[in-house]
């Protein structure tokens, strides 16, 4: 069982369903926990679901109470998505352009990606995160204003124009100089111990007739029977038989809370509940 971290700072109360954020308003939004120095080699991506609201909506904005600078992604009342980029706090160097904007459909999920190589800003879109189409290219050597974080779901300048749909953190990241400096979700795999049972056929167990250590488990692979040793009684004389499912091949120590949280239980695993202090 793994662990998931959502790499945002929530302001107010958002609905977070496995990393999908919704319920944005002037008092409910998210922020990146760091600022960004963009430079001349970066890439960022956001995954979102669009809901038309007949007004301007902000997907991403600078985490700063100023009108310009850094990155601003918004949808207007005509359902066009524009990406604005600024090098200072007095103007947008790349401003809205509905001719080359992305036309959105209410209810659809999109991925948008922006790359910069020191010469060209390229804006991409996709509906499946596999096939991307460039919808705008701007040639410029002007770099994006550095030192600001980003807000998700609200315009930072006046805390307005909240996003009506959702933002999926699982599809969001920022890369600078080909290194991921922020991702919406970080997943850590389960690294606990798996125990493989001492096992053999029933006839082999009977032939050898060992004395199992106290608490040691012996598994008969052809009868699916378990015996638990007491440290003194030979195997054939043990009477504490446990018949298991034919598919049981492994044993997993796990705390009660972790076991209860499992969405599904592995049919091939025998779960052993252990105290939380031993996990």
pLDDT for 54-112, tens place per residue? Answer: 999 999 999 876 667 789 999 999 999 999 999 887 888 998 888 889 999 999 999 99
> Domain 3-188 class?
mainly beta
Parallel, antiparallel or unpaired: strands 29-31 and 9-11:
antiparallel
127, 133, 139, 142: CA torsion to nearest 10: 20
71-74: long-range contacts, CB 8 A cutoff, minimum separation 24: 71/44, 71/114, 71/144, 71/150, 72/155, 73/46, 73/112, 74/155, 74/161
Give the pLDDT confidence of 222-246 residue by residue, as tens digits: 877 788 888 888 888 887 666 555 5
Mean pLDDT of 141-156: 90
Q: Which helix (H) or strand (E) holds 203?
A: helix 202-208
Domain ranges of the chain: 3-188, 195-278
Looking at residue 245, what is its pLDDT?
Answer: 56
Question: Please, which pLDDT band fits residue 186 given cuts at 50, 70 and 90?
Answer: confident
Give the pLDDT confidence of 12-40 residue by residue, as tens digits: 999 999 999 999 999 999 999 899 999 99
- 189 token code pair: 């795999």
Looking at residue 2, what is its pLDDT?
Answer: 57
- pLDDT at residue 276 above 90? no
Looking at residue 243, what is its pLDDT?
Answer: 57
For residue 143, give the nearest of 60, 36, 65, 59 by alpha carbon. 36
Mean pLDDT of 119-148: 94
Q: Which residues contact 28 (CB under 8 A, 6 or more apart)?
A: 11, 12, 13, 14, 153, 162
């Amino acid at each position: 069982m793994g662990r998931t971290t959502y790499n945002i700072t929530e302001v107010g109360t958002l609905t977070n369903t496995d990393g999908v954020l919704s319920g944005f308003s002037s008092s409910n939004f998210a922020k990146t926990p760091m600022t960004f120095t963009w430079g001349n080699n970066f890439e960022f991506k956001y995954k979102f679901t669009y809901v038309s609201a007949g007004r301007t909506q902000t997907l991403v904005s600078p985490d700063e109470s100023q009108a310009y600078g850094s990155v601003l992604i918004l949808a207007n009342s005509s359902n066009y998505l524009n990406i604005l980029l600024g090098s200072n706090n007095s103007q947008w160097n790349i401003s809205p352009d509905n001719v080359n904007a992305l036309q959105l459909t209410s209810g659809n999920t999109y991925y948008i990606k922006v790359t910069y190589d020191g010469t060209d800003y390229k804006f991409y879109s996709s509906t499946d995160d596999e096939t991307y189409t460039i919808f705008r290219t701007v040639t410029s050597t002007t770099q994006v204003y550095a030192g600001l974080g980003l807000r998700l779901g609200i315009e930072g300048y006046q805390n307005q124009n909240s996003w009506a749909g959702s933002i999926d953190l699982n599809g969001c990241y920022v890369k600078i100089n080909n290194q991921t400096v922020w991702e919406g979700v970080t997943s850590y795999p389960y690294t606990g111990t798996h125990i493989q049972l001492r096992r053999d056929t029933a006839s082999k167990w009977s032939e050898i007739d060992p004395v199992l250590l106290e608490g040691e488990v012996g598994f008969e692979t052809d009868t699916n029977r378990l015996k638990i040793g007491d440290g003194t009684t030979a195997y054939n004389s043990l009477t504490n038989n446990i018949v298991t499912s034919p598919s049981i091949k492994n044993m997993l120590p796990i705390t009660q809370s972790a076991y209860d949280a499992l969405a599904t239980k592995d049919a091939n695993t025998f779960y052993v509940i252990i105290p939380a202090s031993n996990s």
